[in-house]
Amino acid sequence: MTGTLHGVGVGPGDPELVTLKAARLISAASVIAYPAPDSGIGFARSIVADLIPETAVEIPMVVPMRPDRFAAESVYAEVAGILADHLRGGVDVVALCEGDPFFYGSFMYLHDRLAGRFPVVVVPGVSSLCAVTAASGRPFCARAEGVTVLPATLSEEDLEARLSAAEAAAVMKLGRHFPKARRVIDRLGMTGRATFVSHASLPNQRVAPLEEAPDEAPYFSMIVIPGRDAHA
Amino acid sequence: MTGTLHGVGVGPGDPELVTLKAARLISAASVIAYPAPDSGIGFARSIVADLIPETAVEIPMVVPMRPDRFAAESVYAEVAGILADHLRGGVDVVALCEGDPFFYGSFMYLHDRLAGRFPVVVVPGVSSLCAVTAASGRPFCARAEGVTVLPATLSEEDLEARLSAAEAAAVMKLGRHFPKARRVIDRLGMTGRATFVSHASLPNQRVAPLEEAPDEAPYFSMIVIPGRDAHA
């Protein structure tokens, strides 16, 4: 009997936005893997720190920041090898993931390396998108509206073309691309409908109409533009 | 002191996919509102049935099915009036919502009627989209990809135009629009990448490659088409 790999979404940051299922699996885990920076404990782990058993074997995945994708691949390959040993020995493994595992989640790097060989269960989590719209205080989409989620890393032209065709829209991964996203939203006349949210659900959460947003945006920030139907 | 209206997402159906925060608020609630059909208890309530205190005042919102939007409006107006009385009396209210409150959620109908007058807190939940992608067993979106969510209620031409421009995509609210969605996805050559999921996270969950999906789809079903980057 091989073990099962659980890809567990731990939500956007508030430890109370963890699901009962995630809490149960983490509390009972004997092997836990999670993304981690060069120093410090990592965001996903910090969210569920109070749930991790003292006896659990912890496997931090120290993934170099972009653009060194090749180095990241080798870290995931190495960690996948370690997890495969546990799984082969019949031990279940929990891999933590910020937000939701399959919504821009890092879990796919482990999934693609292990899913063919071992049973995998994905536990969905509260996505950053839902945390941001909740924080924005305005309904996001309704009825026959489409939703468009775009990374701000797109080119200015691409971002503009796609946003102009969108109904409810969110622009993610702002960071240094924030001024570009703002220019595009301004040109499209959408600024009045747009809300800026950073660190959604965390104590340092910040919510502002886009025109009153700060000049700089962290990576964990988003602009949401509700659809026109999203009102009663 | 007026009470606070809590719009609480209870997730896609599995009672374990409720967040710790939702569970805490529901367990302590004295007034709980939720959408309900003409007969029976309603899906949102059924998800958290074990958490609702026996002493809670329950307010089912019996909302007529489409297309009678006018009748639905009058139900929401009436319930909002009842909730306003509780809130004015200093009592907190919990309004349950399937999935996430602001992601195609019915909570907006209460929100729009009460948010200006009383404090509102929205507790995000696991969305149907995340439950479906988890069930599909394949990463949904990654890196610089955009996400497009479309209701199958769109016209065939509209659906085709928007899907053809999409990267990672999901088509929701299938029901009687399922054959149309299938035709469009077929014409675009996307069938091989598409997965059909109904009743995600529930005991009767069904997952199949789109080409092997049943002929009929319930309203609570979705087609997901992962983006091409969503692989390691």
Cβ of A19 within 8 Å of Cβ of B20? The answer is: yes
Residue span of the structural domain in which B210 resides: 128-225
Which amino acid does the sequence have at A176? R
**pLDDT beyond 60 at A232:** no
The fraction of chain A above a pLDDT of 90, given in percent, is 87
Tell me, yes or no, whether A21 and A96 share the same domain.
yes
Task: Indicate the pLDDT class of residue A67, thresholds 50, 70 and 90.
Answer: low
Tell me, yes or no, whether B157 and B198 share the same domain.
yes
Task: Indicate the pLDDT class of residue A230, thresholds 50, 70 and 90.
Answer: confident
Tell me, yes or no, whether B22 and B57 share the same domain.
yes
Low-confidence ranges of chain B (pLDDT < 50): none
**pLDDT beyond 70 at A69:** no
Structure tokens at B111: 């929100």
Tell me, yes or no, whether A137 and A154 share the same domain.
yes
Whole-number Å distance between alpha carbons of A175 and A155:
14
Task: Indicate the pLDDT class of residue A223, thresholds 50, 70 and 90.
Answer: very high
pLDDT of residue B112: 94
Whole-number Å distance between alpha carbons of A105 and A125:
11
Q: What is B73-130 written as a DSSP string?
A: HHHHHHHHHHHHHHHHTT--EEEEESB-TTBS-THHHHHHHHTTTS-EEEE----HHH
| C-alpha triplet A179, A180, A183: angle, nearest 5° | 85
Tell me, yes or no, whether B111 and B16 share the same domain.
yes
Tell me, yes or no, whether B107 and B181 share the same domain.
no
**Secondary structure class of A105 (helix, strand, coil):** coil
| Residue that terminates a domain, selected from A61, A90, A123 | A123
pLDDT of residue A66: 62
A59-76 mean pLDDT: 80
**pLDDT beyond 90 at A220:** no
Q: What is A168-190 written as a DSSP string?
A: EEEEE--GGGHHHHHHHHHHTT-
pLDDT in tens, B15-69: 999 999 999 999 999 999 999 987 778 999 999 999 999 999 999 999 876 666 6
Residues, chain A: 232
pLDDT of residue B21: 98
pLDDT of residue B38: 79
Domain count, chain B: 2
Tell me, yes or no, whether A116 and A167 share the same domain.
no
- A-contacting residues of B 34-73, CB under 8 Å? 73
- A-contacting residues of B 178-217, CB under 8 Å? 201
Tell me, yes or no, whether A77 and A144 share the same domain.
no
pLDDT in tens, A10-48: 999 999 999 999 999 999 999 999 999 887 789 999 999
Flag whether B41 is in a domain.
yes
Flag whether A170 is in a domain.
yes
Residues, chain B: 232
Whole-number Å distance between alpha carbons of A168 and A148:
6
Flag whether B232 is in a domain.
no
pLDDT in tens, A164-205: 999 999 999 999 999 999 999 999 999 999 999 999 999 999
> Distance of CA B137 to CAs A7, A107, A135, Å?
11, 12, 29
Cβ of B102 within 8 Å of Cβ of A16? The answer is: no
Q: How far is A63 from chain B (nearest CA, A)?
A: 14
Flag whether A231 is in a domain.
no
Cβ of A125 within 8 Å of Cβ of B124? The answer is: no
pLDDT in tens, A115-125: 999 999 999 99
Tell me, yes or no, whether B117 and B132 share the same domain.
no
ipTM, two decimals: 0.96
Whole-number Å distance between alpha carbons of A91 and B167:
36
| Residue A84 near residue A114 (C-beta atoms within 8 A) | yes
Q: Which helix (H) or strand (E) holds B131?
A: helix B128-136
B62: left (phi over 0), alpha (psi -120 to 50) or beta: beta
Flag whether B231 is in a domain.
no
Q: Which residue has the tokens 């964990």?
A: A220
**Hey, what's the torsion of the CAs at B61, A229, B222, B189, to 10 degrees?**
170
Flag whether B230 is in a domain.
no
Q: How far is A114 from chain B (nearest CA, A)?
A: 11
| Residue that terminates a domain, selected from B123, B148, B175 | B123
Tell me, yes or no, whether B176 and B192 share the same domain.
yes
Flag whether A232 is in a domain.
no
What CATH number did the domain enclosing B14 receive? Answer: 3.40.1010.10
Flag whether B185 is in a domain.
yes
| Residue that terminates a domain, selected from B123, B147, B176 | B123
In chain B, which residues have their Cβ closer than 8 Å to the Cβ of A142?
104, 108
Whole-number Å distance between alpha carbons of B176 and B43:
20
Tell me, yes or no, whether B106 and B145 share the same domain.
no
